[in-house]
């Protein structure tokens, strides 16, 4: 089980900020495919992953990264701080 | 080196008075303050962040600035939550031996905070709410460092 977090419009499209996910995916992309297969709202949120960023255990990563040992995955749009 | 992520306003004058105070090896201190800008019809801005990652990401950016420019001290304060037009969103301050290092480090901190610290701005106007889109030039700005 891993914690999956969503922020900004990703959170709005999916309709929740955080959930526990049982996954057999090896990579972030694999997890995204599993989520997209669930429901239309996930399909809508992950329609264009080039518009998204991913963090693994609170470090920026990429969609090819392996999930082995990861406890927390977060998906969000490009950041707009400052 | 200090990082603060908070909902409450901060007192810019008091922060700058306290910053790097008591040191005698600082010849230059630079600060930047980001404000909520109203380009027309903005009621308020909401800033969301990723608690935990935000502090880590800013801390790493700050540590890199200190290392590269041998800063004597650095301070980053970034707010989240609901902010009205004209309110202070965030500030950075750098203290160095000379002004060149202090200015460069402050710009570096700002460039990285814009696109590597997990904050998302949402603008609420009379017409509705919209997430602020990241700009390509903000990403491009990182390549100069």
pLDDT in tens, A6-59: 999 999 999 999 999 999 999 999 999 999 999 999 999 999 999 999 999 999
Which residues of B fall within a CB distance of 8 Å from A9? 131
Of B52, B113, B131, the CB nearest to A81: B113
Which residues of B fall within a CB distance of 8 Å from A51? none
Domain span at B115? 2-144
**Range name among B40-44, B110-114, B138-142 with the lowest pLDDT average:** B138-142
Cα–Cα nearest to B58, from B134, B6, B21, B131 = B6
| pLDDT over 90, % of chain B | 92
Q: State the angle between helix axes of B99-116 and B53-69 in degrees (0 to 180), rounded to the nearest 10.
A: 150
Cα–Cα nearest to B54, from A7, A48, A71 = A7
- Cα–Cα separations (whole angstroms), residue B29 to B5, B22, B145: 22, 13, 21
Instruction: Write down the pLDDT at residue B140.
Output: 87
Which residue does chain B place closest to A5, by CA atoms?
A: B50
Q: How many CB pairs under 8 A join A and B?
A: 70
What is the CATH number that goes with domain A2-76? 3.10.20.30
Instruction: Write down the pLDDT at residue A30.
Output: 98
Instruction: Write down the pLDDT at residue A49.
Output: 94
pLDDT of residue B139 exceeding 90, the answer is: no
Cα–Cα nearest to B64, from B6, B113, B4 = B113
Q: What is the mean pLDDT of chain B?
A: 96
Q: Retrieve residue B132's tokens.
A: 């602020």
Which residues of B fall within a CB distance of 8 Å from A8? 48, 120, 122, 131
Give the separation between CA B32 and CA B110, rounded to whole angstroms: 8
Q: 3-state DSSP call for residue B23?
A: coil
> Where are the domains positioned within chain A?
2-76
Closest CA of chain B from A13, distance in Å: 13
Number of domains in chain B: 1
Which residue does chain A place closest to B80, by CA atoms?
A: A81
* Stretch B119-139: mean pLDDT: 94
Instruction: Write down the pLDDT at residue B46.
Output: 98
> The domain that contains B139 carries what CATH number?
3.90.1170.40
Give the separation between CA B22 and CA B36, rounded to whole angstroms: 32
Which residues of A fall within a CB distance of 8 Å from B115? 78-81
pLDDT band at B136 (very low <50, low <70, confident <90, very high): confident
């Amino acid at each position: 089980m891993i914690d999956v977090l969503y922020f900004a419009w990703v959170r709005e499209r999916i309709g929740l900020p955080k959930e526990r996910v049982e996954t057999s995916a090896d990579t972030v992309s694999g997890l995204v495919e599993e989520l997209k297969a669930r429901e239309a709202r996930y399909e809508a949120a992950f329609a264009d992953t080039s518009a998204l960023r991913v963090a693994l255990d609170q470090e920026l990563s990429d969609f090819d990264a392996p999930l082995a040992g990861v406890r927390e995955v977060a998906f969000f749009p490009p950041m707009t701080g400052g | 080196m200090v990082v603060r992520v908070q909902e409450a306003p901060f007192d810019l004058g008091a922060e700058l008075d306290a910053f790097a105070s008591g040191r005698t090896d600082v010849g230059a201190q630079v600060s930047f303050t980001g404000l909520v800008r109203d380009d027309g019809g903005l009621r308020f801005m909401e800033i969301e962040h990723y608690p935990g990652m935000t502090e880590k990401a800013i801390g790493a950016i700050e540590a890199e600035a200190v290392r590269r420019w041998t800063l004597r001290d650095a301070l980053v304060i970034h707010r989240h939550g609901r902010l009205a037009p004209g309110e202070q969103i965030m500030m950075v301050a750098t203290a160095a031996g000379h002004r060149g290092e202090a200015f460069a480090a402050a710009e570096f901190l700002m460039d990285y905070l814009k696109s590597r610290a997990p904050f998302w701005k949402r603008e609420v106007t009379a017409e509705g709410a919209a997430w602020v889109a990241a700009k390509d030039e903000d990403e491009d700005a990182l390549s100069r460092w």
